[in-house]
């Protein structure tokens, strides 16, 4: 076999092609590798830039053939292996221009997601109770600099709520009171300050409940946390609270019945008395219990 050793082959004439003709059924234009894997470089007209097609390394042991697409090229198509003849390292694959495949998410397993972030838009704004969501976040108040004289939430007149107070801080020693603006409550029974049994106090009417009595005079330096449940339906109003302060452990358990009006509760307010305010960092969160 003869060898032609030249630096460049150029077509003879203007606008002429250089043709390399293989012989036989398996004839090909073969580009051999030397110390590097064989590479076909396609230059720009100025010969200053070029892109390359490069063969796999010898260690890959591949001899496959790729046949260019046999269908029409089009925008937004992907290059896909349409079919394969033979198998293994010498298989012949027919390529085609194809549409992007639809992703089957019917069996998506979240355990397989190990990195990245799922956008918030992929989550429903509200999950039904029958799918495991019992509490719905309604509102959150975080006191910033300057303090707040009270924290108040609007309520539906036929719902049940859970309220969580986190790291409540007062500007000075004071009692912490809960009130229901526009309503005087008739206490049917209540217990407080570690009482083990409910006390019957029918007919005791008031517009507020003392959630924590600062008897020790050290409440302002304490961090106070509490949880409350409030039922607002007319003739079935109830209020229950539990709490803990850093300087003393205590338990409040109020059960309030309101039957003097056919109108349910519409708001709840948490207020420090004696001119105190909530300091920065106080946080109170309102949730609603869901039934559907």
Which domains occur in the chain, in start order? 39-98 (no CATH), 132-289 (2.60.120)
In tens, the pLDDT along 228-240 reads 898 888 877 777 8
Question: Which residues make Cβ contacts (< 8 Å) with residue 192, sequence separation at least 6?
Answer: 252, 253, 254
Length of the chain: 292
Quick: pLDDT tens for 119-149: 878 777 777 766 667 888 999 999 987 789 9
Q: pTM of the predicted model, to two decimals?
A: 0.55
């Amino acid at each position: 076999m003869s060898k032609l050793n030249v630096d460049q082959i150029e077509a003879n004439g203007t606008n002429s092609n250089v043709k390399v003709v293989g012989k036989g059924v398996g004839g090909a234009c073969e580009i051999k590798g030397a110390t590097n894997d064989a590479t076909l470089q396609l230059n720009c007209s100025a010969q200053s830039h070029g892109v390359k097609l490069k063969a796999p390394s010898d260690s890959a042991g591949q001899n496959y053939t790729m046949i260019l697409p046999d269908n029409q090229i089009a925008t937004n198509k992907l290059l896909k292996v349409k079919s394969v003849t033979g198998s293994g390292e010498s298989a012949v694959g027919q390529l085609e221009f194809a549409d992007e495949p639809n992703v089957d998410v019917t069996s998506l397993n979240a355990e397989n997601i190990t990195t990245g972030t799922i956008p918030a838009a992929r989550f429903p704004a509200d999950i039904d109770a029958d799918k495991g969501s019992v509490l719905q976040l309604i509102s959150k108040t975080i006191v910033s600099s300057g303090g707040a004289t009270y924290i108040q939430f609007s309520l539906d007149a036929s719902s049940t709520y859970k309220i969580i107070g986190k790291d409540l801080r007062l500007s000075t020693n004071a009692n912490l009171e809960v009130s229901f603006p526009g309503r005087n409550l008739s206490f049917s029974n209540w217990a407080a300050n570690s009482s083990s049994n409910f006390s019957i106090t029918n007919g005791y009417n008031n517009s507020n409940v003392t959630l924590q009595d600062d008897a020790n005079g050290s409440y302002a330096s304490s961090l106070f946390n509490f949880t409350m449940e409030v039922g607002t339906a007319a003739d079935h109003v109830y209020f229950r609270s539990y709490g803990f302060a850093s300087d003393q452990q205590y338990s409040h358990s109020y059960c309030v019945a309101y039957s003097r009006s056919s109108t349910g509760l519409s708001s709840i307010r948490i207020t420090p008395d004696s001119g105190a305010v909530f300091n920065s960092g106080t946080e109170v969160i309102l949730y609603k219990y869901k039934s559907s």
